[in-house]
A and B are shown apart, each in its own frame.
Chain A
Amino acid sequence: DTAVSQTPKYLVTQMGNDKSIKCEQNLGHDTMYWYKQDSKKFLKIMFSYNNKELIINETVPNRFSPKSPDKAHLNLHINSLELGDSAVYFCASSQAPGPYSHEQYFGPGTRLTVT
């Protein structure tokens, strides 16, 4: 019973290529997120979707384009990959945030290596 799943787990590709990472959650949550963890283990929000609507876009290059076909899925497409895009990308989901915060449940991560 995987709550938040991501595919692929590992992705090795060359500079300039376009790639996608898929995320699905079966928790019935309304809100999904993409985070990037760099080589120093620092985690930073990239995007957030609430019920298929983009809510947060944190100064991410427009080579990164999230897409949410329904509230259980949030995919990340990356164009023209660069060496600096190498990182671990985590998908997460939570109940819709509001005055009270809710814990976020993370997927297993996708380790992207750009050569």
Chain B
Amino acid sequence: AQKITQTQPGMFVQEKEAVTLDCTYDTSDPSYGLFWYKQPSSGEMIFLIYQGSYDQQNATEGRYSLNFQKARKSANLVISASQLGDSAMYFCAMSAYAGGTSYGKLTFGQGTILTVHP
């Protein structure tokens, strides 16, 4: 079974500063993917970034980077140069491949509400 833990219910950051959202995971599967999604107040789920368990380098997508520490089982999201539009709920999620039994389902963390102050 997979488990995702996000220990920060809420985070605050000043506009233009960087912020790190924490995520730890637990799985016994050797092959897995880690994802971050953003859910603004409008409700849609927006894919941000993906990290594969075999990827040697940390994933980056524009202002988003994923700090992947495999030994610590952590996959923190770093948002650089925060903008007011970054205020939203952020979900960490995992998909593990167990020979087809999990078949790509995403297991989500509890989410972190990020508020960007002007």
In the complex with contacts A45-B105, A94-B104, A101-B97 CB distance below 8 A: yes
| A83: interface (CB < 8 Å) | no
B104 to A99, Cβ gap below 8 A? no
Which A residues are in CB contact (< 8 Å) with B84? none
CB pair A55–B103 under 8 Å, yes or no, is: yes
CB nearest neighbor in A for B55: A100
- Encoded as 1 (CB less than 8 Å from any A CB) or 0, chain B from 100 to 118 comes to 1011111110110000000
Residue contact B103 to A97, C-beta cutoff 8 Å: yes
A58 within 8 A of B: yes
Q: A41-B111, A43-B91, A109-B44 are in contact. List 18 more A-B contacts (CB 8 A).
A: A43-B93, A45-B107, A48-B103, A55-B103, A58-B105, A96-B104, A97-B95, A97-B97, A97-B103, A99-B31, A101-B35, A101-B50, A101-B97, A102-B95, A104-B106, A106-B44, A106-B47, A108-B44
How many whole Å from B7's CB to the nearest CB in chain A? Answer: 15
Q: Which of A31, A33, A43, A102 contacts B108 (CB 8 A)?
A: A43
Residues of B within 8 A of A41 (CB): 39, 89, 110-111
**Chain B residues within 8 Å of A100, by CB:** 31, 33, 52, 97
**Sample of 28 A–B contacts (CB below 8 Å):** A31-B103, A33-B106, A41-B110, A41-B111, A43-B91, A43-B106, A48-B103, A48-B104, A48-B105, A50-B103, A56-B103, A58-B105, A97-B95, A97-B102, A97-B103, A100-B31, A100-B97, A101-B32, A101-B33, A101-B52, A101-B95, A101-B104, A102-B104, A104-B35, A104-B95, A106-B45, A109-B43, A111-B43
